[in-house]
Structure formats: structure tokens, C-alpha cells
Structure 1
Amino acid sequence: MKTVRVVVVGAGVVGLSTAVCIAETLPFCSVTLVADRFSPDTTSDGAAGILYAAQFPDIPLERQRRWVKDSFDHLLAIAQSQQSPEAGVMLSSGWQIFKEVPANQTPFWSDLVIGFRVMTDGELKRFPHHRFGQAFTTIKCECSSYLPWLEKRFRRAGGRVEQRKVNSLQELSTSFDLIVNCSGLGSETLVGDSQVYPVRGQVLKVEAPWLQHFIRDGDGKTYIYPGIHSVTIGGTRQEGNWKLQVDRGDSESILERCSKLEPSLCKAKILSEWVGLRPSRRNPRVEKEVVQLQGRRVPVVHNYGHGGWGVTLAWGTAMDSLGLVRQCLQETPLQAKL
């Protein structure tokens, strides 16, 4: 059977997950991962990495549920294995709280996490400005550990890694039979997608080992996520802001907001400050197309635009992308039979 040359562009959590899925599942594919930035220099590296989902407006809910479930099940298996410390994947319990009672008190993902329930009045007493809350156990995935672990897994499956910037799909068309685009914000220039835009996020890592439970404000801007080595507190959601420098005012606002929810944070030592640009879109783009490149019809699978939900959706959309790769190979003369 002829070897199919596949390239995956982008080495964040979405790109690496997709590359691993293809390399491990399709042994007749030679998979190369190409990116200008690898861990620890990706946007994914600074992410809080908590599995929590938003609902996208134009994607069937069942498909979104499948993305979340596949990701949760994949990471839960790692969290419950001996690989957990090296992969940086752990179970995390805590609360999501709301200043007003939300219209939808039971989100679509409530049965996909563990032990989802409405908080009691007694539990809410510690948050006097909030009227409603949800308690559940989910997963925290620390990408600074998880991405190198995934890359090792990819290399074990025969994958190859190349660090360089890809400016156009044309550059890849002569060396590869199929392109998988996981370039995030880079898709604006790489494939001319004007619908992808940055949402600037700033977080602080603090030393507060006494904190064991996450607290997330329902506004999505204020959160406290204890991890293995530190606690991530945040944050910001600034649409269209490309600024990568740490903003002192944002750091002060984050500390003030989080300390109101968890007063002991005023005793925490600040370890680092970080800024990342989430690759956002009205809906993530997970689809296939055929592109004319230098006189050849080249199948392209897109998997990008996850915004702040990259860790939550990465394995699920990677599995979806694997299915799209299979479809592309069945529809082209590259493979007679799969």
C-alpha cells in the first residue's frame, strides 16, 4: 500500500492531538508536524486547561457533545493512569457561581463531567454576591506538561517534527499528499479566513498550595484553578486585542477580583504573568475541502478556531479530523482501499 504523506500545521494542543490521532490510527500515513512554535512557546502552554464547554451557535449540539465527551474520556483515562504526573492531567473539583440565576441551569455538558449538581444555600454563603452555583468534578490539563508528553507519543508513532513558519499552503503542496490545518490564528493569513480573530487572555500563576478547589465566576472572566505546581488565576477576554505584553492594570484587576472570591490569595506569591491570544471564531472550523495548488487537487482538513476551549475540544475535534482525513483518502486516487 502506498505511503500517504500527511502534514499537520500547528503544534498547539489541537495540532498535536490531531497529529497523534492520525499517526497512531493510520499506519500507512507518514505524518509530519510543522509549526513555527512548539511548547513552551504556544498559546496552549499558558492556558488554564480546565475542561469546561461553551455552546457554539451554528454547530449541531450532538456534534459539540461528542467533541466534549471524546476529550473528557480521553483525558480522564490519562488522569486515572500512571501517566498522570508526566502528562500533567488531573481531576479537579469546584464551583461555578453566578451573580444572577442563569436561564439555563443545566448546561449541555452537565452529564459529561462528574457529579454535576446545583450548589446548596450553605455552599453559596461563602459567595455573598452570587445567587446560584453549580458544583462538579472535571479535568485540569496542564499543557506545559501535556504538550511535550503528546509530542513524545507522536514521535513514538513514527511522526516527524519540523520547526519552520508556513506562509502558504502552496509551500506544502509538492511535499505532501494531504494537508491538515491546525494553525489557529495563523489561518487568517494561511487560508485567508477573515472570521478568525484574537481574544487576548492574561493570567497569573501563583503559589497557593492550600487551595484545592476551583472557583469560576459565570461571567467567564474571573477564575481560580489549582493545578499540580501552581494556581492559575485570571483573567481577561479582550476581543480583537493583539497585545502580547503583560498589562499591569489587568494583573491588578485579576488579583482584586480573585481575592474577593478567595481572600487567602492575598497571601499567595506571584510566580509568573502570562498573555496569550486565543484563536477565536463564531464556530470552530472542522471540515474538509479540496484546494487547487500548483496544478494539483490537494485535500485539506481544517481544525481551528476553538477560542478559549482548545483543551476542552482538542481530542474530540482531532477524532473528527481523523474521520475527515479517512474520507479524503477514500475520495482521492491516493488509496485504492482503506
Structure 2
Amino acid sequence: MIPKIAVIGEGVIGCTSALQIAKAIPNSRITILHDKPFEKSCSAGPAGLFRIDYEENTEYGRASFAWFSHLYRTTKGAETGVKLVSGHIQSDNLESLKQQQRAYGDIVYNFRFLDDRERLDMFPEPSKHCIHHTAYASEGNKYVPYLKNLLLEQKVEFKQQEVKSLDEEPKILKEWSALRPGRKHVRIEAQKRTTEGKGKEYTVVHHYGHGSNGFTLGWGTAIEATKLVQKALGLM
């Protein structure tokens, strides 16, 4: 029996989830449902600069960083939208920068605090403290279409249609445009449901709440979401 799996949303999280599932369950039939063209979605705009806001998500970010590193080494950036960039974050609050260090200091490249000479020489209005690091950026208008091409190669189907009820596929609570709902802990959870009337059981795997860290955490969180899909199908 061929497992049938629906992924709702063709943004970075939807495409990343579908790709992980396709790799883990190669005999599955996957359909990605989206209610608008990709160009009008939230994922089409962000530059996707790697940054982890909460330490609880560090390991998800680590897995994503390894994926970006692989893409950077093996595929042209013009195709994937992945590139290396260096920059600084200034703050008068030392603890806020130490939190950044704890969240991803050992993941990115060249993470360090600037000394006083560098800080005073480089900035016209320097803050009391400043960090430097090098990390990957994944441009949404290139990176997500790249993922989509990988999915098409895996025979994943894309279908533009509004999903009014999960009973029809795998209930929309509300709609939004260009907003990025966030949680301190990304929601990755399997939930058993039953269709009204027919009483047919199905499983919903929730995978959302990345806020501004969707590109940073998406690959890592998709790995965890895929494990729940496999478990729901009795493959683990």
C-alpha cells in the first residue's frame, strides 16, 4: 500500500518537510497544497540569514547549517540562493550577545567579540559590545524554488487549492499574509484525528512556529517532523 501524504504550504517549511519525507519514505505519494502562488508567499521575500533566537532550537539550527554547508560546497549559489556572509551585531547589553553566543556561537564560522579598538574604529556610533560571525544566507526567492525542483524530481505533486478542512486532505484557524508566527519552542507534534461523519482516522503532524528562523531551523525541524510521519505510518 502506497502511503498518501499531504503537506499544506509550499514555503520553506512545507517544501523542506516534503523533501525530508520523500527521502525517508521513497515509496510515498506526496502532494503539496498551497492557496496562492509562491511569489505571493512569505518565503519569497526573506534573505534567510542564519540566526537562532532561542537556545532551545540550537540543534535544529546545527542540522540546517550542515545542510547549507553541503549545498555551498556542491551546487552553485546562483541556483540555490545559498551564500556566505559576514557581519556584526552591536548591543549595549552584553548578556544579549552572550545569549547569541550560546545559541549558535559554535555553529557559525569565526564567532568572536570585537575588541575595543575594532569596535571604536569600525562604527561611527559604536555600542558597548559587538560580535562578529560568518554564516550562510539562503535567499528565499532562489532557495525555495531550488527545493521545489528537487521535489519535482521526486515526483512530488504541487496543487494550488484552498484547504478549508483537514478532513478533506491532511481546519484553518486563520489566514495571514507576510507574517511569521513564532514560538519559543517550534511546534512539532503528531495528532490523531477523526473525520466528521465517516469516522475515518488520520494523523496530522504539526510543524510550524519558526518565526523569523524558518530558513535557519527548517531543515533540522523537518528531520524531526519526518520521524513523526514515519511513526504514524508504522515505519518506525
**TM exceeds 0.5?**
yes
Name whichever of 82-91 and 312-321 sits farther off: 82-91
Structure 2 portions without partners, runs of 5+:
none
Match of 1:144 among 141, 145, 160: 141
The residue that corresponds to 1:54 in the other structure is 53
Counterpart code for 1:82: T
SS of the residue 1:50 aligns to: coil
Q: 2:191 aligns with which of 289, 302, 319?
A: 289
> For 1:160-199, what aligned pairs fall within 5 Å after superposition?
160-172=157-169, 179=170, 190=172, 192=173
How many pairs align? 230
CA–CA separation in structure 1 for the residues paired with 2:103 and 2:182: 21
Question: Which of 100, 107, 111 is equivalent to 1:112?
Answer: 107
* Structure 1 residues 109 and 40, CA gap change in structure 2 (3 angstroms): same
Partner Cα separation in structure 2 for residue 104 and residue 91 of structure 1:
21
Query: Greater share of helix residues, 1 or 2?
Result: 2
Q: For residue 195 of structure 2, what is the amino acid of its counterpart?
A: L
In 1, Cα distance between equivalents of 2:191 and 2:93: 43
- 1:76 — aligned with what? 69
The RMSD of aligned alpha carbons is 2.0
SS in 1 for 2:102: coil
1:102 to 95, 112, 128: 95
Structure number with higher relative contact order (C-alpha < 8 Å, ≥ 6 residues apart) = 2
1:85 equivalenced with 2:78 (yes/no):
yes
1:66 aligns with 59
On the 8 A contact 2:52/2:58 being kept in 1, the answer is no
Cα distance change, pair 157–97 in 1 and its aligned pair in 2 (3 A) = same
Matches within 5 A, 1:115-130: 115-125=110-120, 126-127=122-123, 128-130=125-127
Which 5+ residue runs of structure 1 have no aligned equivalent? 173-178, 180-188, 199-241, 245-275, 331-336
Q: 1:320 aligns with which of 191, 206, 224?
A: 224
- Post-superposition offset of 1:104: 5.7
Q: Distance in 2 between matches of 1:166 and 1:4?
A: 20
Partner of 1:209: none
Deviates more, 1:315-324 or 1:36-45: 36-45
User: For residues 231 and 188 of structure 2, what CA distance do their matches in structure 1 show?
Assistant: 13
The TM-score with structure 2 as length reference comes to: 0.90
The answer to whether the aligner puts 1:11 opposite 2:13 as a matched pair is no
CA-CA distance at 1:103 after TM superposition? 5.3
Conserved 8 A contact 1:12-1:38: no
Give the counterpart letter for 2:31 in structure 1.
Answer: T
Residue aligned with 1:286, SS: strand
Q: Helix, strand or coil for the counterpart of 1:33?
A: strand
The 3-state SS of whatever aligns with 1:327 is helix
Contact 2:16/2:147 (8 A) holds in 1: yes
Matched residues in 2 for 1:11 and 1:84: separation? Answer: 21
Give the structure-1-normalised TM-score: 0.64
What's the offset of the Cα at 1:317?
Answer: 0.9
Q: In the aligned structure 2, how far is the partner of 1:71 from the partner of 1:82?
A: 16
Q: Aligned pair 1:278/2:201, yes or no? A: no
Is 1:11–1:37's contact at 8 Å kept on the other side of the alignment? no
| Contact 2:97 2:131 (8 Å CA) reproduced | no
C-alpha change, 1:53 and 1:170, in structure 2 (3 Å) is same
Whole-Å separation in 2 of the counterparts to 1:296 and 1:78: 41
User: Given that residues 287 and 302 in structure 1 are in contact (C-alpha distance below 8 angstroms), is that contact kept between their aligned partners in structure 2?
Assistant: yes
User: What SS does the aligned partner of 1:150 have?
Assistant: helix
Q: Equivalent residue of 2:94, what SS?
A: coil
